[in-house]
Structure 1
């Protein structure tokens, strides 16, 4: 009996997928076509929206966006150099004792304004008084010896004329007089040095200014020429401000100084909201800082009331000169492919692109050398998405009222049967 024939294995064969019907293929094509059309319509809408001016779609009043504006005007515009400055005192003195000893008195208050020559502290003077007395005694003794030697020399010279004494004795006495004269000169110098040391026990203010914090208390022993000192005096009136100016401005500054004109300089606070003091330009440095391309400058301020404090950072404004110029706000001038331009507002509330040539500028306004006339309005705010010929509305204009569809005139006729219209039914009298 023959064995049964085994069935072939079908596990390794790929699964047979049903072939999609024609209807399903048509539905897939329609869905893909709908997606393509939707993408095309969306892209067209976005392109159309990107071409509209700032403010979106035109409203019924005809204005596409509201912008700020200002008129070009002529004015005396100051040419100002802005810089960051540091307040620098004219003199800063550290009070160091010239002689050693015990600090017996401190006669000032910390932070006090002192006058020149005012007594500030005192060192124990007794050792130096004794040294002065000793120097004075030595001088008196040597002066007496000198006087006696001079009398003896006079007698010797008289005897020499009478041939009663040898010339050698006269010469010896004359040499003794010279020796004693030198000793007296030395004694006088020692006495002056002793007086000077005694004066150094009184510490006085070399300049007028503001004294700082005390570093040594009374009763401490101080040494001559100590590195720390007992206090620091800073001169406050007048005071200087150092700042840096661009090297391109140096010829203009030198030209103004050559004319003998004083350049006004203002010191402003950190936020430029208040003027601390007004001074006069002093001088320029003699070298250009190669790392910054600037030159250090200095201005002097009276500093009455001490609004400026040493080492304080201030904003500096120096008026270089004043020119008669046609100016517009700084925000009105823009930069395009063809250079600087402004949007000029026409009478029909459209804007035109006008190329201009700008000159010097301040923080608020810029001079226009060519391209504008006085009285023309220019856009200052809201012009980021404007284009030539765009319609705008100015700030302060009354908004236009859009007419309703089907209306004629300000209100338009009412439809029959509408409230208030001609077709409204009259209520019969009761």
Structure 2
């Protein structure tokens, strides 16, 4: 029995020895293996520097004509003809309508005849006054006769002056039968047609003329913004640029008007109902693109914020408290997150008052994939001011590739 055990032991021991050797080899391999290096996340950053920033206000407004003239007749009569093209441009002094001049021509002729009659009476009165003067000097006539003759002469001279005034009035009324344009501008359609009866200074205007070049834009500004603007100027955060600054226009289609205007005046009172006041700007309008009543948005430069930081909006987020935050790459390559003090938006940027220093690096892409304290690889890029997009078209592909390799 013991001999049989001695013979069987080597057979049973061999598989066990092989299993132990295999297990030991696996343990040695696990101890010698090292974990693979994780690649650093790649982010896009912009380097921040202080700069003077033009503070502009985008305000709603309406286009208004520079001059408006309602054309009305100044004499009674029948419209004989219309002498302008509706919707066209006219010059000051152009004849627009002609009222039947026949009765006014007759009145002028009658006034001229009355003036000549009065002048003839003056001649007769002068001769008579001279005769009575001579008789009185020779003691051949009475003083009363001489005084009566002088009074008659004075009355005749007054009649001449009155006749001249009547002639001038008749001449003016005759001239008023030709209704002329008081200003240069574009004329509307006619309210009346030839053959219509008109009266002097009637309520209904014959037509309206509007001067369109230059043209005005009236915008409204809130009193709250005015007070905030004055506080910023007083605190030195804003340098006032004064009236006469350039004003840009954005049309209702979103297109920007290609000509700049300038501020003309701001009202000195606040509307009690709306809490706003009106600001007027004047724009050149040679192509008549701007028309009265058109809705526009005016971009008015309020002042200059010196030594300010503009942070791309794509690099600024919000925390759970609603505060503006930004992620930065520190000198050691680690991500830092901090709260920012934003004042207002400027285009596709935020104007920041606090939380930023010169030369700091703000993450503008890839910040959602990293956390504070993480070491990252920073790639400097620039941001298109007009669109807010990165100017390097390949940056997103590079970031996606790097972050995929990390995962």
For the aligned pair, the TM-score class normalised by the smaller chain equals 0.7 to 0.9
Q: 1:319 aligned to 2:301?
A: yes
Change (3 A) 1:372 1:86: same
Question: Which of the two has higher C-alpha Rg?
Answer: 1
Q: 1:273 aligned to 2:260?
A: no
Distance 1:154 1:258 in 2: 80
Distance 2:51 2:239 in 1: 24
Q: 1:293 aligned to 2:295?
A: no
Instruction: Work out which of the residue numbers 302, 311, 315 in structure 2 matches 1:328.
Output: 311
Distance 1:238 1:402 in 2: 62
Change (3 A) 1:209 1:382: farther
Distance 1:74 1:357 in 2: 15
| 2:192 aligned partner | 216
Distance 2:294 2:43 in 1: 42
Shift of 1:77: 2.0
Shift of 1:184: 1.6
Distance 1:346 1:398 in 2: 22
- 1:351-408 superposed Cα distances (whole Å, 9 cap, x missing partner): 421123334542322233332234534345686897644788973425246599xxxx
Q: 1:342 aligned to 2:344?
A: no
- 1:285-305 superposed Cα distances (whole Å, 9 cap, x missing partner): 011123433221111112222
Q: 1:111 aligned to 2:87?
A: yes
* Matched position secondary structure for 1:157: helix
TM norm structure 1: 0.70
Q: Name the structure where helix makes up a greater proportion of residues.
A: 2
RMSD: 3.3
Distance 1:284 1:226 in 2: 35
| 1:238 aligned partner | 214
Higher mean Cα deviation, 203-212 or 318-327?
Answer: 318-327
Q: 1:308 aligned to 2:290?
A: yes
Native 8 Å contact 1:68 1:380 kept in 2: yes
Q: 1:399 aligned to 2:381?
A: no
User: For this pair of structures, how many residues does the alignment match?
Assistant: 343
| 1:147 aligned partner | 123
Q: 1:83 aligned to 2:83?
A: no
| 1:228 aligned partner | 204
Which residues of 2 match residues 83-232 of structure 1 at below 5 A?
Answer: 83-232=59-208
Distance 1:203 1:403 in 2: 85
Q: Which runs of no fewer than 5 residues in structure 1 stay unpaired?
A: 1-59, 405-430
* Matched position secondary structure for 1:399: helix
Distance 2:201 2:298 in 1: 39
TM norm structure 2: 0.74
- 1:90-144 superposed Cα distances (whole Å, 9 cap, x missing partner): 2211111111222222111111111111122211111111100000100110111
Shift of 1:270: 1.5
Native 8 Å contact 1:240 1:300 kept in 2: yes
Distance 1:149 1:403 in 2: 123
Distance 1:86 1:182 in 2: 57
Native 8 Å contact 1:71 1:328 kept in 2: no
Q: Which runs of no fewer than 5 residues in structure 2 stay unpaired?
A: 1-37, 378-394
Distance 2:113 2:240 in 1: 63
Distance 2:199 2:43 in 1: 75
